């Protein structure tokens, strides 16, 4: 059996699958890996959450960066890897997709929002840090780039920020707890496009293994956890997943 057939058979035998996705699945949609050499975070010093909260100038800088770099994300479309996962969710075989990505491409590929657990939030909209009210980026872009005005919540006057988890910001407790529950309940855990270095997220494959689930890792490069996996594939995600699941 080649690797794709092995993956197909692991998927076929599983009753409850959880996917864990990282930047690698979205680079195939043209979204750069911000952490990679030459990525955005190596060009700009990250804005820490506390600085964003305490400094109007930092908030201005954060929104300037956001709108200067947003075009790539706006243009990106889901790829065959996203579509394969969407099919497994639709078939009721995949109970959740835990993702480190903030691009919303799993939802755009047709996965219901309640099946996507976003550990690092979502960069395609903004929210009020006080009341949680959702704000659309289009409106913020117009008033920020047009009148130079920082967004304030129309419900409570709170500070509005892209709905991502910033450096120095607490991990989202509800999502972390849900990710843990899903991981403990699955019998196949598939990692796609994550180098598994960022904790606590990278701890999930270990949890799955300890609970007796099978572990498959699909990533372009080797990861620290390859030795623990039942199947390791170093290849492009879209082509492997579309063959393993049978979608285009």
Phi, psi of 54 (to 5 degrees): -95, -15
Do residues 244 and 84 lie in contact, with contact meaning Cβ atoms separated by under 8 Å?
yes
Q: Which of 46, 110, 158, 172 binds Zn ion (CB under 5 A)?
A: 158
129 near Zn ion (CB under 5 A) = no
Q: Which of 128, 191, 233, 244 binds Zn ion (CB under 5 A)?
A: 128
Residue span binding Zn ion (CB under 5 A) among the ranges 70-78, 152-160, 210-218, 219-227: 152-160
154 near Zn ion (CB under 5 A) = no
Least distance in Å: CB of 160 to Zn ion? 8
178 near Zn ion (CB under 5 A) = no
Burial class (CB within 10 angstroms; exposed 0-12, middle 13-18, buried 19+) of 107: buried
Q: State which residue, 155 or 211, has the beta carbon closest to Zn ion.
A: 155
Residue span binding Zn ion (CB under 5 A) among the ranges 9-17, 34-42, 72-80, 150-158: 150-158
Six token digits for residue 223? 């990861």
Q: Which residue has the tokens 């099919």?
A: 87
| Distance between CA atoms of residues 47 and 43, nearest Å | 12
235 near Zn ion (CB under 5 A) = no
141 near Zn ion (CB under 5 A) = no
156 near Zn ion (CB under 5 A) = yes
153 near Zn ion (CB under 5 A) = yes
Cα-based distances in Å from 51 to 37, 59, 127, 193: 25, 8, 18, 31
120 belongs to the catalytic site: yes
Q: State which residue, 106 or 161, has the beta carbon closest to Zn ion.
A: 161
The angle, 0 to 180 degrees and rounded to 10, between the axes of the packed helices 56-69 and 137-147 is 110
131 near Zn ion (CB under 5 A) = yes
Q: State which residue, 73 or 160, has the beta carbon closest to Zn ion.
A: 160
Alpha-carbon dihedral of residues 236, 238, 243, 246, nearest 10 degrees? 170
Q: Which of 99, 144, 92, 136 is nearest to 117 (CA)?
A: 99
Catalytic-labelled residue, pool 82, 106, 120, 135: 120
Least distance in Å: CB of 151 to Zn ion? 10
Do residues 220 and 192 lie in contact, with contact meaning Cβ atoms separated by under 8 Å?
no
The residues annotated as belonging to the active site are 120
Residues at the contact surface with Zn ion, assessed by CB under 5 A: 128, 130-131, 133, 153, 155-156, 158
């Amino acid at each position: 059996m080649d690797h794709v057939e092995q993956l197909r058979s692991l998927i076929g035998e599983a009753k409850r699958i959880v996917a864990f996705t990282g930047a690698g699945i979205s680079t195939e949609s043209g979204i750069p890996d911000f952490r990679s050499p030459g990525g955005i975070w190596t060009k700009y010093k990250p804005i820490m959450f506390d600085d964003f909260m305490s400094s109007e100038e930092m908030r201005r800088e954060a929104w300037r960066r956001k709108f200067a770099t947003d075009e790539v994300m706006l243009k990106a479309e889901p790829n065959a890897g996203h579509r394969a996962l969407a099919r497994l969710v639709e078939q009721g075989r995949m109970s959740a997709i835990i993702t480190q990505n903030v691009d919303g491409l799993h939802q755009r590929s047709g996965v219901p929002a309640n099946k996507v657990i976003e550990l690092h939030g979502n960069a395609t909209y903004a929210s009020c840090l006080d009341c949680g009210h959702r704000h659309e980026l289009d409106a913020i872009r117009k008033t920020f780039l047009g009148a130079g005005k920082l967004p304030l919540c129309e419900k409570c006057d709170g500070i509005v920020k892209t709905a991502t988890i910033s450096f120095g910001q607490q991990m989202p407790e509800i999502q972390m707890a849900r990710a843990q529950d899903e991981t403990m309940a699955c019998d196949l855990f598939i990692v796609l496009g994550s180098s598994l270095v960022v904790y606590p997220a990278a701890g999930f494959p270990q949890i799955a293994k300890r609970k007796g689930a099978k572990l498959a890792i699909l990533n372009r490069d080797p990861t620290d956890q390859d030795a623990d996996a039942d199947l390791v594939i170093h290849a492009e995600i879209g082509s492997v997943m579309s063959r393993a699941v049978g979608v285009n």
